Structure 1
Amino acid sequence: MSAPRFHLVADRRAIIDRRAVGERLAQADRNARGAILKAGLADGRREIARRLSQEPARGRTAAASMAYLADQIVRLSFDAASGALGDPNESIALVGLGGTGRGEMAPYSDVDLLFLVPKGAHGTLAPLVEATLYLLWQMDWKVGHAIRDADEVLASSAEDISVRTAFMESRWIWGDQSLFEQTRQRFDKDFLEKQDRDFVAAKMAERDERHRRMGDSRYLVEPNVKDGKGGLRDLQTLRWIAKQALAVESNSGFVEKCIFSEAEYRRFERAERFFWAVRCHLHFAAGRHEERLGFDYQRQIAQRMHYSERPGKSAVERFMHFYFLQAKAVGDLTGVFLAQLDDRLGARGRRFALPTFRRRPSKLNGFCLDRGRLSVPGDDFLAEKPVRLIELFALAAREGLEVHPKAMRLAARDARLVDRVRDDPQANALFLEVLTCKNHPDVVLRWMNEAGVFGRFVPDFGRVVAQMQFDMYHHYTVDEHTIRAIGLLAAIERGELAKDHPLSTALFRQLGSRRVLYVAVLLHDIAKGRGGDHSEIGAEIALELCPRFGLDAAETETVAWLVRNHLLMSRTAQRRDISDPTTIADFAEAVQSPERLRLLLMLTVVDTRAVGPGTWNDWKRRLLRQLYDSAEERLRLGHKQRGRSERIALRQQELREELDWPPATWKAHARRLPESYWLAEPLAWQKSNALQIANAEARIGDLEPSVIAEDEPELAATRISIFSPDRVGLFYRISAGLASAGASIIDARIHTSRDGMALDNLLVHNSQRLAYADRRLRNRLVRAVEKAITSENLPLPPSAGPLEPRSAAFHIAPSVIVAPRASNRTTVVEVNARDRSGLLARLALAIHTEGHQVHSAHIATYGERAVDTFYLTNAQGRKLTAEEAEKLRAALLGAAAEATSERDAA
């Protein structure tokens, strides 16, 4: 492989003038040489950055320029070291490996060098190698290096696939060129002139492990450009395997060897050019070696690459949409490549493997099996009858078969023909069969999506393919999120998630129409990225699509209702007081039937869980279960034997049996607490509260607050329980104390006993959104709260610290919604703002300053967004008047804006 070339000598010298830098090095003393080289490297990077800013799509040119710059720096360092040591007589070759060898380097990539020496010359040449490396390290350059002779290179290549891969792309940079060429000839003869299936298998296994480590999805919203699934490394892996197994020497060789068609080769080139441009821009934006395309860089790079806004889509969303389309193209090309590899080597590249393999099907309707995988008998089989484009995947789902990569390639080629059968009842029935298949529909739908058939058959779904949701809450693109949700639904139906979702698993058997639920999951986010309310627009789409799929009028109406209301249950559970009768009444009135309630629960569960790792937890499970039980009770009316008062009595009886207190003691405890307490808190918390109260009151005459902190591992949080004489501003004091200790409140239940004592239960977690497992840290929280409560003066509000760079990429304008009729006895106020430290305490201070009392607080976070809901009364214990509500609204907006200003100033 030759070094990168430039059209004009001036082009090279503008990056680095090796002769001029060499003359400065010759005149400088030893201590100044490193600084000269470092300045040359920095100047060269600046020139490459300037050129890339003028032609932002030419990432490969920037990568070649960087490799040229690295070559010159290495040569200058070697010459300076050699001259200082008096030019040792032994020969030595400086060889670039990996990206350095390919002549493609991102601006802050590591340099990978091999110091190739004659046999037995290691000791003689060690001082020269060390002196060269010393100069390179003085530039703060990370240098991967090895010192080997030719025999060692061959032996290491035989033993270690990564060494062989690196030397496969080796390139002479400086020194004894003949030594390198002799070694390279021996390497090619030993390794590249024969097919090595073990190498192919090892590289595929290495790729699979890398994918698993990076999240195993090419649709992660913060992808790794280099190592992520669908990224540059996947293209490089194809090149390595093709070179080893199929004697492909360059990208154009993919066409010459009939591995890719001309159109497929153009897709390969387009993806590689794009990813190199993104990677180089990312390095320059970060000013360091950075491969993860985080939110904090996406806006910058979208701007650098001249993406502009369109109606309903920001510039960054358009940029990331194109990114994921290229990642999808890499996946498609990998399938095509594996099909060719399979045919030529007779080896199975099992990329498209279903988790199960059932039996040999008795009827294939013209399709065939190729080594156990579903395939087609000829290249025109699908085009002859376009309904087969859907039937291919329906058969795979029905029989539990893999789809052969050859069939995938032909399906992708002929995908546009599915337009002809979009309204065909048979095609729609086959599609519905795939969608509602109990056994892994997500796997087959993902194949349909990768082939382009899914988005063609359902054009509204095609609009969300590779559609990014630019926020810190969603982990995947819209299409990947949807397909994962469908897979989770099928897993619940199979009973595989009964431990995590026992209620949903049980309810599946009670559904009147399971296909309603599957179609609703498919359509719930289908209108994302169109502007406006995606739930309302999605419901309109459902009214059009469901009849086409074969659903009757009643099923269509239910699907549309579910899509319109798919966020209702999660928002009610997380943002409202579900022990408040008005909350349950309003929710039940919206749902209207037990069947809708069952469907909505399961849609909410899979939608939440498919957002990404860590979004589903036991706290959300508990809230949804409580809301479901309360709403079902109200909807079923007389069909349940227990009403509100009966439920309270039952809970009190359960707690009484747990405590085994004397009757008089128990009656006093039960009488002092309000009804809402018995409905709001779990039995285990109520028992802990009762013991805490008893212990506190055993201290005769001691009115000091009692604060305990207990780990709640199932909730991934810590419970803080406070029993204290009630006082004005108590909730603010507690919030400020916890904020000062670095804790974030995720839920707060505030109760006032009939004798004027406060009993508050709060859930908190640390900055990593985990529980405080260490007892010492929990004790620190207790001391912070005690200090805040007992302090004579009101604690100062916590300062809003600087935002993390990822969070700073988003702009969220604070908003305050006052809902006077959401509760019978309190005013409900919802605040939407950027999530940041100290926000809740600042909002609580604003409420206290206005003279109002907090009865419960419910804190929900969605990535960078916080939604805090408060149930309030005024100083007289009544709902807020219109004037009071307006003044409070202004104060809360001011509190959020004040924190934002502090952050900007910081």
Structure 2
Amino acid sequence: MPAVVPRSGVSPEARRSLRQLLDDADRALATAFRDGEDASALALRRGEIVQRVVVHAWGACLGDIAAAGLFAVGGFGRGLLFPASDVDLLALVGENSPTLSRALENFFACLWDIGLKPGHAVRTVAQCRELAAQDASVFTSLLDARRLAGWPILAEQLRGILDDPALWPPRAYLAARLAERDARHARYDDTAQNLEPNLKDGPGGLRTLDALRWLGRRLANAPDFDAMVAEGLLEPVEAAKLTRAEATLRRYRYALHLEAGRAEERLLFDYQRALAARLGFEDEHAKNLGVEQFMQGYYRAATQIERSGTQLVERFEEMLEPSAEPEPVGNDYLRYGSRIAMRNPHLFVRRPAALVEIFIARLDEPGITGFTAETMRRIQHAVSQHGEGLADDQAVLDAFLALLRRGAPAVDALWRMNRHGLLAAILPAFGKVVGRMQYDLFHVYTVDEHTLRVLRNVARFADPAARRDFPVGCEIWPHIERPELMLLAALFHDIAKGRGGDHSVLGEEDARAFCTRLGLPDDQVALVAWLVRQHLLMSTTAQRQDITDPDVVHRFASVVGDWEHLDHLYLLTIADIIGTSPKLWNAWKDRLLSDLYTATRFALRSDVSHATIAGSRVRECRERALGMLVAERFTPDAIAKVWADFPDLSFLRHRPEQIAWQTAAILRAGSATPLVEVHPFSIRGSTELFVYAPDRDGLFATVTAVLDRLRFSVVEARVLVSNTGMALDTFLLLESDTQAPASLQRAEELRARMLRALDHPEGHSAPKRGISRHLRHFQMVPRVAFSPVGERTQLSLVCTDRPGLLAAVSQALAEAEVRVHDARIATFGERVEDFFQLTDRRNAPLPESRQAILRDCLLRHLGSDTPRTALNANANA
């Protein structure tokens, strides 16, 4: 073994020169990128420059001959270094010695000192073998190892590890890589379509392409896409698509590193607008921003990588499966084990409808898990050859309708068709929203990803196991006579996003045209078109209006028209909300929508007047609440004494369970006030707070300040005053962090803190807290509008969400000397839409002068210096 001959190392002057060389090179590369040079070529050039510097430092610190070898691994091993990438190195040593250890320490310290960020490991060959045998990720890192300097025999010994057939044989290696992929993707919600995706490690990211090459090398001795084409694993057109998608992601990653000034791999909101401008994207119109076009480029590339990667993995799996004898499946298909194939290789070209029919056959044949590699290839060819002509082929449309009529099982087929590009070919409008993002915090997925998730949510209503989560939806689903209409409505509800104009109106036109081409009867076409046009109606009515008001329910019922439309709209609404963001769904919204559904069904079967319905509801509420209270051994006389002080609105706006709970609390308290009761999980699917105290101006502000300090979100507030001047205030709450009802411990903490605040109301203003990183990028001009509502004035406030917003609004209301009688709180991502019913302190509607004072107070407390004229909105416009 050669002796270690350490060198004196790199002098301070030489280190400064090397640092200057790297700085000059990075500036030149950044300039070249701005001038439009290819990111991959620039990353390779930077890799070459860094390699020369690293090899020079190695020679200076360890000498030309040493008992060690230096290897580039990771991206550096593949020759690529982006502007802020780590320089991953492996030092292989024949034996450890103090002299060698000091020389290596000097080497790595030198690299840090000249501005490189080496990620390094020092191991013997035996240690590499041991670790590689235990961990597939270590074995994988060795696949990219490239010798830079040092003892050549170590490279041969390293190749011996990789060539050992007993170490991670193909089946075991494939299983390990898929397990790693699944674990990594789970961290990103199993989708590339997140608002702030990870370019490197997210689904469809650059790591996915690396993994495909690793699999190709280990399983088929095909380390790149050209080799995979030669092996028949990829078609040339597929390889070309992957190469283009990779070029897009590399370009974005190069720009991201330059913009962030560090090794940032996430397309954070902090950078998205600047990156869009840097890469030349410009706003087309308000609903197709430059940043949205930029992100669509990413999503489309990531989607292509994810789709092609999934298909390539299926081909690897088929390659490793034992051969199976074919079994006939109908007249056109054959079964090979768990895979299905066409009999005639020209089937899809001669009869395009078979492209859809094979997905139906896959559904019908038990135990089928996929297509053969050749079949996947034929599907790709046929879709490419026929293109959007499939949308006008009546036989294809007939087959598509037959698939939709399978109901819930068809959804999985639609997902697979989307993966092969077939869904976009049959529905060209769907292809236009692939990768279409909306630059806000409400829509956390791209339009195509959201649509597919809505379809899956619709399918859940057919699953008996989902009854616990969706009792009303699962009760409705068996009565849906034509499930294909629900699936069509889900497919089209957002299909016109990004075109400009109202997507509901444009989508209605698309849905009507497509359903007509499908040959559906006029009444079915009308139902699908109506669902697309009105798909937001139920959620906005429930969250923005008082659904305990018979007038609100009857207006909604008059638009819905009948039970069939109501059933379909209810299911679509729930599926849409959950498909927009899983965090949007909670027990409170579940109860809110089911309450509106129940009230509307009653209204649709009733011909009596609103006044009669209101009176009937008051009587029914009294009777049911009385029964509950008597069962708790309260006397009718005591109950009647409490209720004599309740306004009729209490019985109209609250459920019997709430009235019984409030009444029991008052009776137990006797004459003691203030009274605070907290129900951790109420009938309304939230935590319910009841405050019974002498009414006073500023009470609402005191309560909301305490709620803000305790980090509760108010989703609804009902502020009533008894006939003797007692506040009967009800607040429905969720935990701000989890959007879940409170625990017993938190409920007791809230009750105690609220009692102390009501006993000593002074000094209970809300703390000022900074807004989150996400919200900083979505600030909007607040909009304040006033409109008459009976004997009150309604304030509509639309603004950006922030911590403590409601408490700040409450302080403004108190400062403007107005009274709150009702509040509806609705949050949509970063956007808040709050509605308050107000009067002055004489319980009269607000005159214009008081409205102007309130507007100024609101803007001051919201921290806005925008001119008032820009914020005033005419509620009647």
- TM-score for the superposition, normalised by structure 2: 0.88
Offset from partner CA, 1:645-703 (integer Å, 9 cap, x none): 3431343134314532122221122332233334544566545534543455443xxx5
Call closer, same or farther: CA 1:711–1:103 in 2, change over 3 Å: farther
State the alpha-carbon separation in 2 of the partners of residues 552 and 28 from structure 1.
84
2:3 — aligned with what?
none
State the alpha-carbon separation in 2 of the partners of residues 36 and 765 from structure 1.
60
AA in 1 matched with 2:126: D
Structure 1 unaligned spans of 5+: 1-21, 350-359, 902-906
**SS class of match (1:493):** coil
State the alpha-carbon separation in 2 of the partners of residues 782 and 286 from structure 1.
47
- Does 578-587 or 57-66 show the bigger shift? 57-66
Offset from partner CA, 1:269-290 (integer Å, 9 cap, x none): 1111111222232233333333
2:298 — aligned with what?
323
State the alpha-carbon separation in 2 of the partners of residues 740 and 36 from structure 1.
56
AA in 2 matched with 1:394: I
Offset from partner CA, 1:858-888 (integer Å, 9 cap, x none): 1111111111111223434344457766765
AA in 2 matched with 1:600: L
> Does residue 1:154 correspond to 2:122, yes or no?
no
1:285 — aligned with what?
259
Offset from partner CA, 1:568-588 (integer Å, 9 cap, x none): 111111111222222222222
> Does residue 1:644 correspond to 2:617, yes or no?
yes
2:33 — aligned with what?
52
> Does residue 1:114 correspond to 2:94, yes or no?
no
1:653 — aligned with what?
626
State the alpha-carbon separation in 2 of the partners of residues 89 and 343 from structure 1.
48
State the alpha-carbon separation in 1 of the partners of residues 606 and 215 from structure 2.
66
1:668 — aligned with what?
641
Q: CA deviation at 1:605?
A: 0.9
- Does 383-392 or 140-149 show the bigger shift? 140-149
> Does residue 1:211 correspond to 2:189, yes or no?
no
- Does 632-641 or 643-652 show the bigger shift? 632-641
2:484 — aligned with what?
515
> Does residue 1:63 correspond to 2:43, yes or no?
yes
AA in 2 matched with 1:326: A
1:105 — aligned with what?
81
Call closer, same or farther: CA 1:425–1:381 in 2, change over 3 Å: closer
Alignment equivalent of 1:632, drawn from 601, 607, 616? 601
**SS class of match (2:666):** helix
1:871 — aligned with what?
837
2:4 — aligned with what?
none
AA in 1 matched with 2:35: Q
User: Does the 8 Å CA contact 2:796/2:833 hold for their aligned counterparts?
Assistant: yes
**SS class of match (2:600):** helix
Structure 2 unaligned spans of 5+: 1-6, 868-877
- Does 757-766 or 528-537 show the bigger shift? 757-766
Call closer, same or farther: CA 1:726–1:492 in 2, change over 3 Å: same
2:164 — aligned with what?
190
Call closer, same or farther: CA 1:747–1:128 in 2, change over 3 Å: farther
Q: CA deviation at 1:709?
A: 5.0
State the alpha-carbon separation in 1 of the partners of residues 684 and 101 from structure 2.
58
1:504 — aligned with what?
473
Q: CA deviation at 1:728?
A: 1.5
User: Does the 8 Å CA contact 2:823/2:835 hold for their aligned counterparts?
Assistant: yes
Call closer, same or farther: CA 1:183–1:680 in 2, change over 3 Å: farther
State the alpha-carbon separation in 1 of the partners of residues 687 and 18 from structure 2.
54
User: Does the 8 Å CA contact 2:406/2:484 hold for their aligned counterparts?
Assistant: no
State the alpha-carbon separation in 2 of the partners of residues 281 and 566 from structure 1.
39
Call closer, same or farther: CA 1:858–1:136 in 2, change over 3 Å: farther
Q: CA deviation at 1:194?
A: 11
Q: CA deviation at 1:760?
A: 2.0
Alignment equivalent of 1:812, drawn from 780, 796, 802? 780
State the alpha-carbon separation in 2 of the partners of residues 651 and 50 from structure 1.
76
What aligned pairs does 1:447-486 form with structure 2 within 5 A after superposition? 447-486=416-455
AA in 2 matched with 1:112: D
State the alpha-carbon separation in 2 of the partners of residues 89 and 452 from structure 1.
56
> Does residue 1:617 correspond to 2:586, yes or no?
yes
AA in 1 matched with 2:377: R
State the alpha-carbon separation in 2 of the partners of residues 127 and 96 from structure 1.
20
Q: CA deviation at 1:835?
A: 0.6
Offset from partner CA, 1:368-398 (integer Å, 9 cap, x none): 2232322223442201111222222233334
Alignment equivalent of 1:414, drawn from 382, 385, 391? 382
**SS class of match (1:414):** helix
Offset from partner CA, 1:411-469 (integer Å, 9 cap, x none): 22221416445344442232123234234333211111121111111122222222112
1:223 — aligned with what?
197
What aligned pairs does 1:57-456 form with structure 2 within 5 A after superposition? 58-68=38-48, 70-71=50-51, 74-75=54-55, 78=58, 82=62, 90-118=66-94, 120-121=95-96, 125-135=100-110, 143-174=118-149, 176-190=150-164, 196-311=170-285, 312-338=287-313, 340-342=315-317, 344-346=319-321, 364-399=330-365, 401-404=368-371, 405-416=373-384, 417=386, 419-456=388-425
Q: CA deviation at 1:23?
A: 12
Call closer, same or farther: CA 1:47–1:668 in 2, change over 3 Å: farther
User: Does the 8 Å CA contact 1:651/1:678 hold for their aligned counterparts?
Assistant: no
AA in 2 matched with 1:675: D
Offset from partner CA, 1:485-523 (integer Å, 9 cap, x none): 112212202323111111111122333543332222221
User: Does the 8 Å CA contact 1:798/1:842 hold for their aligned counterparts?
Assistant: no
AA in 1 matched with 2:138: V
State the alpha-carbon separation in 1 of the partners of residues 652 and 21 from structure 2.
71
Q: CA deviation at 1:307?
A: 1.4
1:356 — aligned with what?
none
Call closer, same or farther: CA 1:746–1:412 in 2, change over 3 Å: same
1:730 — aligned with what?
699
User: Does the 8 Å CA contact 1:440/1:490 hold for their aligned counterparts?
Assistant: yes
What aligned pairs does 1:812-831 form with structure 2 within 5 A after superposition? 812-820=780-788, 823-831=789-797
AA in 1 matched with 2:133: A
State the alpha-carbon separation in 1 of the partners of residues 198 and 84 from structure 2.
15
Q: CA deviation at 1:71?
A: 3.7
Call closer, same or farther: CA 1:459–1:890 in 2, change over 3 Å: farther
**SS class of match (1:548):** helix
**SS class of match (1:602):** helix
AA in 1 matched with 2:781: A
**SS class of match (1:406):** helix
- TM-score for the superposition, normalised by structure 1: 0.85
> Does residue 1:26 correspond to 2:15, yes or no?
no
**SS class of match (2:606):** helix
AA in 2 matched with 1:563: V
User: Does the 8 Å CA contact 2:69/2:147 hold for their aligned counterparts?
Assistant: yes
Call closer, same or farther: CA 1:250–1:643 in 2, change over 3 Å: same
Offset from partner CA, 1:734-778 (integer Å, 9 cap, x none): 223433454443332222222211122324445524458677766
Q: CA deviation at 1:594?
A: 2.1
AA in 2 matched with 1:397: L
Q: CA deviation at 1:177?
A: 4.1
Q: CA deviation at 1:525?
A: 1.1
State the alpha-carbon separation in 2 of the partners of residues 715 and 347 from structure 1.
57
Q: CA deviation at 1:545?
A: 1.8
State the alpha-carbon separation in 1 of the partners of residues 98 and 585 from structure 2.
59
Call closer, same or farther: CA 1:313–1:24 in 2, change over 3 Å: farther
**SS class of match (2:479):** coil
AA in 2 matched with 1:618: A
State the alpha-carbon separation in 1 of the partners of residues 19 and 695 from structure 2.
65
Q: Could you say what the CA RMSD is over the residues aligned between the two structures, in angstroms?
A: 3.6
